[in-house]
Structure 1
Amino acid sequence: MLTRLKLSLAALLLSAAPLWAQSDSISIGMVLEPPNLDPTAGAAAAIREVTYANIFEGLTRFGPDGAVLPALAQDWEISDDGLRYTFRLREGVQFHDGTAFSAEDVKFSLDRARAEDSTNAQKQLFAAISEVTVVDPATVEVTLSEPDGAFLFNMAWGDAVILSPRSADNNATNPIGTGPFRFQRWVQGDRIELERFEDYWGEAPALARATFRFISDPSAAYAAMMAGDVDAFPNFPAPETLAQFEADPRFSVIVGSTEGETILAMNHAHPALGDDRVRAALAHAIKRQEIIDGAMFGYGTPIGTHFAPHHPDYLDLTDLTPHDPDRARALLEEAGATGLSLRLMLPPPSYARRGGEIIAAQLREVGVETQITNMEWAQWLEQVFNGKDFDLTVISHTEPMDINIYARPDYYFGYDNPEMQRLMTELRATADPEGRSALLQQAQRLIAEDHANGFLFQLAKAGVANAGIEGLWENAPVPANDLTGVRWRQ
């Protein structure tokens, strides 16, 4: 009897202990499926979540702490006037199709990204480039039309990766880069599979295979983690279940920050939303903490402008638009916008679907009705982001330091303020840290006082992983599931 009791206790302890797989493969859960796999021809963050640092590389890259690090450029020199960057490239680098990497590929990629007919979603990253010159196969010189204090930072974005002319046109469905993993297959609606690139120029990754599985439903995501169908879900869509995972020794919960400013985007082309008083009314109708608690179960930081709270230049401007329904009603009446009805388009992420329902209820309290349309990601990109056919939408902008989108009148929400455009032009030409900080803070205050959008919260990075996995990013300085340092504990 005693022996049987010992055996039962041992079995119970074993079942509760972390089960660390001795494996060289990993399965990663993602909420959204990428619309394509070319980060130079699409705005969706899901593209970069698969490809950044795994398939594609740029001259520079972001580290897990947001630092700008060498990538295909091993080092560089900057001229005294800040107009000429000379990059010394790594030698012996190959693309996944066996093509040798050289300075010609850098020139091709940068010229293509800044061309008049470029489809790059972040074309402004390359606006300061006036000429790209091949010095020799391992050296390229980039000349700017004006100093750009963020140029090396810009070159680390996923939109600035280096492509081969031989394969660039097919990267949407068959991505070929220089990274440590190469594309193997894409089963539409289900998964993308990568395998280790054995001829990679750098340190070989510990993982031989990686699968990205697309699970948009929060309940299905929870079930997949519990069943072990996925090993990690870095951006877990069911935050209400995180406490259960924290109490289970088989899992680790990884909570960090992202660059994701979650906003109620307003289409300034709409007759009512072009009026600052109406935008201010909607902002005062919003109760940020209620949205964070209801949609994100407390995970998230309230914001009053389009800037990340963890950045040293952040201004907390939430007090400019406190929750004030009476003020909202008065502003709507003053603007002649009582009885307003607006279309609210919601993409698939739970922060948008859940948050949108809460926002709709808050707006209803001040007399604004909304017609909610739940959209799939491709439909949202086509109709809202590209077509600008919307009134309101809830979206998290996960690109790093992207306040400059408010200097682009043609951007999907259509904010057009010459003062903002002047500030961003001056920022590009400023390298002095104190000068840049002052300009960034002026820009934050300007868009907050203009009520350019409804600023909600900074998206937290709340993920779940098998406890045997190490090397996943805690924070997300850029949308990425960088697998270069991921391994199973031995």
Structure 2
Amino acid sequence: MLNRLSLSAFLAMTAGTAFAAQDTITLGMVLEPPNLDPTAGAAAAIDEVVYANIFEGLTRFGPDGSVRPALAASWDVEDGASTYVFHLHAGVTFHDGTAMDAEDVKFSLDRARAEDSANAQKALFAGIETVEVIDPLTVKVRLSAPNGNFPFNMAWGDAVIVAPESVETDATAPVGTGPFRFAEWVQGDHVTIERNPDYWGEPAALSKATFRFISDPTAAFAAMMAGDVDAFPNFPAPETLPQLGADPRFRVIVGSTEGETILAMNNRQPPLDDARVREAIAHAINRQEIIDGAMFGYGTPIGTHFAPHNPDYEDLTGLSAYDPERSKALLAEAGVSDLKLRLALPPPTYARRGGEIIAAQLAAAGIATEITNVEWAQWLEQVFKGKDFDLTIVSHTEPADINIYARPDYYFQYGKTEFVALMDRLNLATDAGERSAILKEAQEMIAKDYVNGYLFQLAKTGVANAKIEGLWENAPTQANDLTAVHWTE
């Protein structure tokens, strides 16, 4: 009996130890972030590590895309949506132990909207007129015009709250208020975060999470099969998903994203400054062939810069239907012959694989391309900032971001006056019906101007250990939110 009891106790103890040890996770990511400060960088990979994990904003996106309270427990809307009063949670501290209060909110918003701001989404803050500290837990934000979308704007990763004491080093050693704190960054390999023991809200179930950077699809598949990574939320080898799905060790997670995948065109670079040339390129593209060939059938065709799952979406794919003969006629009408364009391809699978297919499609319509594969940092510097490109392929994963077309200095350089006026009207509109009508007009304008080649809405194809729960199925923003992730037995 003694031996049986001892054995039972031993088994119970070892089982408990095994369960207790299962509170860490390793996630695969295709791209390494260029830095870890979401308020000073445009790369989606930054938010994929830090959003809701390390940094928090006044509001946040939930997994269903809803806007939820975060550092602000609640807010009041006054003066017809021209004034917002945010009521902050009490007892919140940054990871370095300093208090988070209304002064930090004012600092963060004023910094984001400053003339010399490095924020990649500065337009989110353009309507702010004043930020006033009422007391340590109350902030009043006055806008220059009504904006019913302001809580949505504050949910972006670019709007997280930072501290003046640590902001200068956030790019390499981020200090936020979230349920995880930064542990280490081994560049070229991984970033590790660990549970914040002093978190003001519900503590994370995971004690540690490591983000490993694996850009090669073959290596990503091998890492999953070997158990070197526990989950790959944005898996770069969709052709292997059926094999992984048939393995009981894994669960395949397929959802939607906010990622409009486009063949971006430099609208100020001759001859792409001619709408007929841009239209010719658009008609040379066979979207389904790209979805099948590059994404193995995962993706939804789009004809404008808007997510098909959005209730205000219009299907405008017919305006740029595949018609290579029409492409040739438009080029002739524009007086363009022997056209050769530079095509810059960043690392993601959709760009590298899709780029080869598009190059062949353009060639069939008489348009030659010179492909250059660029790393993410080079793409940001040369294409996004330097605007030194003709064509490029990228997924815009920011939520509901059609307003980028109102920015004349944005990398594809559109900024049409009439479109800017539309976005100004949208910012003033608070009625749902009016906002819907404006958004549809905006979709039509950029589609008919053939600003870019609209390819497909990026699917979220992920794979995870079958014992992991809480990962997002859809991606309403570019995030690997680990706040609800846990292991089951």
Q: Tell whether the structures are fold-level matches, with TM greater than 0.5.
A: yes
User: C-alpha distance in 2, partners of 1:140/1:34?
Assistant: 32
3-state SS, counterpart of residue 40 of structure 1: helix
2:198 maps to 199
Note if contact 1:21-1:488 (Cα within 8 Å) is conserved in structure 2: no
CA offset at residue 97 of structure 1?
0.2
1:77 maps to 76
2:112 maps to 113
User: C-alpha distance in 2, partners of 1:256/1:375?
Assistant: 28
Note if contact 1:22-1:488 (Cα within 8 Å) is conserved in structure 2: no
Cα deviation code 1:112-150 (max 9, x no counterpart): 000000000000000110000000001010000101121
3-state SS, counterpart of residue 353 of structure 2: helix
1:331 maps to 330
User: C-alpha distance in 2, partners of 1:227/1:194?
Assistant: 23
1:23 maps to 22
The answer to whether residue 362 in structure 2 is matched with residue 363 in structure 1 is yes
How do 1:387-426 residues align onto structure 2 when only pairs under 5 Å count? 387-426=386-425
1:161 maps to 160
User: C-alpha distance in 2, partners of 1:480/1:322?
Assistant: 33
3-state SS, counterpart of residue 213 of structure 1: strand
CA RMSD, 1 decimal: 1.0
The answer to whether residue 441 in structure 2 is matched with residue 442 in structure 1 is yes
Cα deviation code 1:403-434 (max 9, x no counterpart): 00111110000013111000000000001100
The answer to whether residue 352 in structure 2 is matched with residue 353 in structure 1 is yes
Task: Give structure 2 stretches of 5+ with no counterpart.
Answer: 1-17
The answer to whether residue 124 in structure 2 is matched with residue 133 in structure 1 is no
1:478 maps to 477
How do 1:265-280 residues align onto structure 2 when only pairs under 5 Å count? 265-280=264-279
How do 1:145-156 residues align onto structure 2 when only pairs under 5 Å count? 145-156=144-155
Note if contact 1:20-1:468 (Cα within 8 Å) is conserved in structure 2: no
- Which runs of 4 or more aligned residues in structure 1 lie more than 6 Å from their structure 2 counterparts after TM superposition? none
User: C-alpha distance in 2, partners of 1:343/1:416?
Assistant: 22
Residue identity opposite 1:276 in structure 2: A
Cα deviation code 1:210-239 (max 9, x no counterpart): 000000000000000000000000000000
User: C-alpha distance in 2, partners of 1:367/1:80?
Assistant: 57
Cα deviation code 1:137-173 (max 9, x no counterpart): 0101000010112100000000000001100111000
How do 1:224-235 residues align onto structure 2 when only pairs under 5 Å count? 224-235=223-234
Cα deviation code 1:159-198 (max 9, x no counterpart): 0000011001110000000000000000000000000000
Task: Give structure 1 stretches of 5+ with no counterpart.
Answer: 1-18
User: C-alpha distance in 2, partners of 1:228/1:49?
Assistant: 21
3-state SS, counterpart of residue 135 of structure 1: strand
Cα deviation code 1:13-43 (max 9, x no counterpart): xxxxxx9996010000000000000000000
User: C-alpha distance in 2, partners of 1:57/1:147?
Assistant: 25
1:240 maps to 239
Residue identity opposite 2:126 in structure 1: A
Residue identity opposite 1:169 in structure 2: E
Note if contact 1:21-1:468 (Cα within 8 Å) is conserved in structure 2: no
2:8 maps to none
Q: How many positions carry a matched residue from both structures?
A: 472
2:486 maps to 487
CA offset at residue 269 of structure 1?
1.6
User: C-alpha distance in 1, partners of 2:295/2:140?
Assistant: 46
CA offset at residue 489 of structure 1?
0.5
Cα deviation code 1:467-488 (max 9, x no counterpart): 0000000000000000000000
User: C-alpha distance in 2, partners of 1:321/1:430?
Assistant: 30
Cα deviation code 1:259-285 (max 9, x no counterpart): 000000000121110000000000000
User: C-alpha distance in 2, partners of 1:133/1:347?
Assistant: 42
Q: 1:236 to 1:70 in 2, by over 3 A?
A: same
CA offset at residue 81 of structure 1?
2.3
User: C-alpha distance in 2, partners of 1:456/1:313?
Assistant: 19
1:13 maps to none
User: C-alpha distance in 2, partners of 1:171/1:135?
Assistant: 27
2:378 maps to 379
User: C-alpha distance in 1, partners of 2:414/2:289?
Assistant: 27
Between stretches 192-201 and 77-86, larger displacement belongs to 77-86
1:5 maps to none
1:101 maps to 100
User: C-alpha distance in 2, partners of 1:234/1:287?
Assistant: 28
CA offset at residue 80 of structure 1?
3.5
The answer to whether residue 37 in structure 2 is matched with residue 41 in structure 1 is no
